[in-house]
Amino acid sequence: MRDRAANPRRHLTPDEVETFALGLPARPRAARAHLGECAECHREVESLRALDEALSGLAHPAPSPRFAEQVMARVSLRAPWYARAWTVTRERWVPLAAASLALAATTSLMALWLTSQPELSLMSLSGLVVQQIRDFSLQVVMAIGSLLWSSSALRSVIEASERIGMEGAILLLSALSLVTISAAGAMMRLMQPAPLRLRHAA
Amino acid sequence: MDYREKSDPELVELCKRADERSAVELLRRFERPVFSLIYRMVRDRELAEDLAQEAFVRAFNNLGRYDPSYKFSSWLFKVAYNLTIDHLRKKRLDTVSIHGSPSAVTAELQAATAITVESTEERPDDALQSREIGSEIEIAIGELRQEYRSAIILRHMEGRSYEEIAEIMDVPLGTVKTYIHRARKELQGQLQHLLE
């Protein structure tokens, strides 16, 4: 701008021509004054304005109608697991809460029963598995033990398991395992995102 | 939730959380501009559609690499531009342009790198496609050098700033100005009878 102040007769620079032709905000007064007097610069501005109008007026060719669908068929958006879990929890909290409750209840019952059966660790076939389950279960029991102990629920479970015997206990354990697996399966299915309906693209 | 009312950054954030409807909305917003840019660069509808499709797929599948400090549209145009340029480079690997090196921005450099080994006359099917796109203006745009054509489309049809164009084309700002200035001069020369 100092140049223009020093030499007001200097022709507009390409940037200045563009500023006037495209109606951009920064249009300095000195350059405007020159434009009012200079036929050559005025012609340049008008020529660029006409070119811009011609170019910006051209239509955008459209892709085929199935374009969006074809793109989306190839796109695999992956959110972080915590974001997916949060979205699903917000959208399907009722069935998810029910499944979680069932899972927690059966796990707790299994844990309580296992802790009441120390002789299970001697079973040759499933001894190792049971031992691992017991270790894990002990941790769960530690967390909820004090609460249940106060209501003497644990003692009731131990007494009940002593009454039903080993065969009954194994049957009960199998049933509880089935419920646990089903609840876990239900939770996994619920975590899947809803299928995309491409009619939103229309 | 009305996705049409959401801004581009909001839609991108939703996309990152695997919300596919936000991806569909972004597609709806940018399919025409991206397709148009590619179509005008390659002048072949089927190829343009394939490249545009690939550009969107790459953009959506690589959203993790997107830097939100840039406009999403600029990033998308950059993906589309790079893809198209790569394709054109592969296609022309065994030919040499009479315009000289694409990186030559001065007349001297162009003259130094120019080799006359093939004609730049439009093939009949290319000319037909130009007519299909539209008017005499489209034909004039099609005759511009590739870099000039991309720059002028981004500036005058997409309304991108010089800085954005430099980012999209991955060239210095001064080079963008040179491309656009020269493209304008060529178009003004060819379309003088229409612009007066």
Q: Answer yes or no: do B99 and B192 share one domain.
A: yes
Looking at the fold, whether B137 and B86 belong to one and the same domain comes out as no
Residue whose structure tokens are 């646990």: A180
Please state, in angstroms and rounded to a whole number, the distance separating the CA atoms of residues A154 and B93: 79
Together in a domain, B33 and B69 = yes
> Which one of B39, B68, B93 terminates a domain?
B93
Q: How far apart are CA A100 and CA B2, in angstroms?
A: 32
pLDDT in tens, B31-83: 999 999 999 999 899 999 999 999 999 999 888 888 888 899 999 999 999 99
- Kindly state the average pLDDT of the residues A37-54: 90
CB A75 within 8 A of CB B61: yes
Q: Which of A52-56, A186-190, B107-111 is the most confident on average?
A: A52-56
| Rounded Cα gap, residues A172 and B101, in angstroms | 80
8 Å CB contact between A61 and B41: no
Burial category of B183 from C-beta neighbours within 10 Å (exposed 0-12, middle 13-18, buried 19 and up):
buried
Claim to verify: residue A99 and residue A176 sit in the same structural domain:
yes
Q: Which residues of B51-84 are buried (b: 16+ CB within 10 A; e: fewer)?
A: bbbbbbbbbbeebeebeeeebbbbbbbbbbbebb
What's the average model confidence in pLDDT over A75-90? 73
- Are A38 and A122 in a shared domain? no
In this structure, the answer to whether residues B116 and B188 fall within a common structural domain is yes
Q: How many CA atoms lie within 13 A of A26 on its CB side?
A: 4
Indicate whether A170 pLDDT > 70: yes
What pLDDT band is residue A196 in, cutting at 50, 70 and 90? very low
Q: Are residues B64 and B158 in the same domain?
A: no
Establish if A26 touches chain B: CB-CB under 8 angstroms.
no
CA B151 vs. chain centroid, Å, equals: 7
The burial class, CB within 10 Å (0-12 / 13-18 / 19+), for A55 is: buried
A67 falls within a domain: no
- Does residue A144 belong to any structural domain of this protein? yes
**Could you tell me which of A144, A122, A176, A160 has the C-alpha nearest to residue A130?**
A122
For an interface test with A, give the residue of B3, B27, B161, B186 to mutate (most A CBs within 10 A). Answer: B27
**Residues A102 and A171 placed together within one structural domain of the fold:** yes
How far lies A116's CA from each of A130, B57, B101, B113, in Å? 13, 57, 83, 88
A57: confidence class by pLDDT, cuts 50, 70, 90: confident
Question: What would the pLDDT profile of A11-34 be if each residue is shown by its tens digit?
Answer: 888 888 888 888 877 767 788 888
Domain residue limits at A100: 92-190
- Mean pLDDT, all residues of chain B: 82
What's the pLDDT at B46?
93
Query: Same domain for A171 and A100?
Result: yes
| % residues pLDDT > 90 (chain A) | 10
B76 and B105 co-located in one domain:
no
What total of structural domains would you count in chain B?
Answer: 2
> Is A20 within a domain?
yes
- At residue A135 the predicted structure's pLDDT band, cuts being 50, 70 and 90, is confident
**A141 assigned to some structural domain:** yes
Query: How many residues are present in chain B?
Result: 196
Together in a domain, A47 and A101: no
Handedness of CA A46, A52, A57, A58 (dihedral sign): positive
Cβ–Cβ gap B196/A50 under 8 Å: yes
Cα of B23 to nearest chain A Cα, Å = 8
Q: Check: CB of residue A68 under 8 Å from CB of residue B31.
A: yes
Give me the mean pLDDT over the A172-190 stretch.
80
What are B170-193's pLDDT values in tens digits? 999 999 999 999 999 999 999 888
Return the CATH number at B99.
Answer: 1.10.10.10
pTM of the model: 0.60
Reduce the secondary structure of B140-183 to three states and give it as a string. Answer: HHHCCCHHHHHHHHHHHHCCCCHHHHHHHHCCCHHHHHHHHHHH
Contact B18 A72 (CB under 8 A): no
Angle B8-16/B20-42 helices, nearest 10 degrees? 110
In a shared domain, residues B104 and B41: no
**Cα dist. B42→A136, B88, B145, B151 in Å?**
63, 8, 12, 14
Which residues in chain A are contacts of B24 at CB distance < 8 A?
A: 68, 72, 196, 198, 200-201
| Domains in chain A, number | 2
Write the pLDDT tens digit of every residue in B76-94: 999 999 999 999 988 875 4
B22 contacts A79 by C-beta, under 8 angstroms: no
B67 lies in the same domain as B152? no
Contact across the interface for A55 and B191, Cβ inside 8 Å: no
One domain for residues B72 and B115: no
CA distance A48 to A93: 60
The encoded tokens of residue B166 equal 């430099």
Q: Band the pLDDT of A199: cuts 50, 70, 90.
A: very low
d(CA A24, CA A101): 63
Give the structural domain span for B117.
95-196
Query: How does DSSP assign A103-121, residue by residue?
Result: HHHHHHHHHHHHHT-GGGG
CA A135 to each of CA A3, A102, A112, B152: distance values in angstroms, whole numbers, following the listed order: 84, 21, 12, 70
Same domain, B88 and B101: no
